[in-house]
Structure 1
């Protein structure tokens, strides 16, 4: 496993520094927060615990709302990747792949269906609800990328396909860490060891 990039350490909590994160592969010190590019959420602050309404704890859970500032000039499209960053696996579990977002200041509302989505760790194109074992805290990293070329990927593309298509195109990136602790007695009916 490669080392976690030093330029990213001040933006990512120690427990969430998985070297396989998308931002570690695609970003750079120059791209991180370039021109004030930032990712935020009206539902949680950086490092906060996700509300259960965005996790497997609640039956009608949806993806959290996200907001971002304008990317640098020359950007053509925005991409969001959400990964479980405290995993021991070679690759972090992918919770959400979103692209087709205009390269301007914008937002996704709570539960809003994005323009294009790719496959999460379970192979479907939805927000993968965080579902850690009871009492166990997991770290999640919301990542946004501005790219200088429009993506030509079809909906349902894999994480590997998305990352490959983004290589060498990133004009700016930003991250937003969050956590979630599994509740006692909760079970969404699937093996949640790596989610």
Structure 2
């Protein structure tokens, strides 16, 4: 898949990075479906392009996934699915969260709430993968991508990102994106807290 970032997406993302063109939204959405009918994704915990609180990251004990809220999707939506990826981890975005089984209507996920169905993240765990970028890096962008689908998904919990993406292809009627940023401070990276091969 080429890493060219379509213009309709670059205008919606906060900042640019090597993985933008390979985000799931670049593969599944287009200019017509992004924000269709005012479909929008927000969070009461951070604004679009703003920093994530450490309580949602690997730098704080008992960290959880952030709360999310979304407006009503277009008529005919059967289900919503959420993909969260680190666009700045390299040429291939790192998957932090796969969620589906969300009702095709206005709704929300509370802070730390367990979603209906969750797939495997980049560490092959079925949970919110806590952001843990290298301390020397500039802030990484975690792109929350919400998809309105015209059919209910039959995937079982624990499916992979590729399984989810293949199932959603040609069924996205609207999409919305929300970007949260996170930069670790050197003192956050305590000795033994991370392995250089595990940055996400």
TM-score range, shorter chain: over 0.9
Task: Give me the whole-angstrom Cα distance separating, in 2, the residues matched to 1:67 and 1:157.
Answer: 24
Task: Give me the whole-angstrom Cα distance separating, in 1, the residues matched to 2:132 and 2:69.
Answer: 24
Match of 2:46 among 44, 49, 68: 44
Q: Quote how far apart the aligned CAs of 1:166 are.
A: 0.3
Task: Give me the whole-angstrom Cα distance separating, in 1, the residues matched to 2:5 and 2:89.
Answer: 14
Match of 1:166 among 168, 171, 181: 168
* TM-score under structure 2 length normalisation: 0.93
Aligned to 2:70: 68
Output aligned runs, 1:1-195, within 5 Å: 1-16=2-17, 18-89=20-91, 91-136=92-137, 137-185=139-187, 186-187=189-190, 188-191=193-196, 194-195=199-200
| Unmatched 5+ stretches in structure 1 | none
Residues 84, 96 of structure 2: 8 Å contact kept: yes
**SS at structure 1 position matched to 2:158:** coil
Q: Quote how far apart the aligned CAs of 1:110 are.
A: 0.2
**SS at structure 2 position matched to 1:146:** strand
Q: Quote how far apart the aligned CAs of 1:192 are.
A: 5.6
Q: Quote how far apart the aligned CAs of 1:9 are.
A: 1.3
Count of residue pairs the alignment pairs up: 194
Q: Quote how far apart the aligned CAs of 1:63 are.
A: 0.1
Task: Give me the whole-angstrom Cα distance separating, in 2, the residues matched to 1:57 and 1:183.
Answer: 9
Task: Give me the whole-angstrom Cα distance separating, in 2, the residues matched to 1:153 and 1:140.
Answer: 24
* TM-score under structure 1 length normalisation: 0.95
Residues 34, 174 of structure 2: 8 Å contact kept: yes
Residues 133, 183 of structure 1: 8 Å contact kept: no
